[in-house]
Structure 1
Amino acid sequence: MAKNIRGSGYDLLRRIKTTSDGYILAGYSNSPKSGEKSEDTMGQGDFWLVKLDHNGDKL
Structure 2
Amino acid sequence: MAQTYHTTVGSHSYRFASLAELMAKATPPRSGDRLAGVMAESAEERVVAQMVLAELPLTTF
Structures share fold, TM-score greater than 0.5: no
Higher relative contact order, structure no. (Cα contacts within 8 Å, ≥ 6 residues apart): 1
TM-score (normalizing by structure 2): 0.25
Q: Relative to total residues, which structure has the larger strand share, 1 or 2? A: 1
Structure with the higher helix share, 1 or 2: 2
Under a length normalisation based on structure 1, what TM-score does the superposition of the two structures give?
A: 0.25
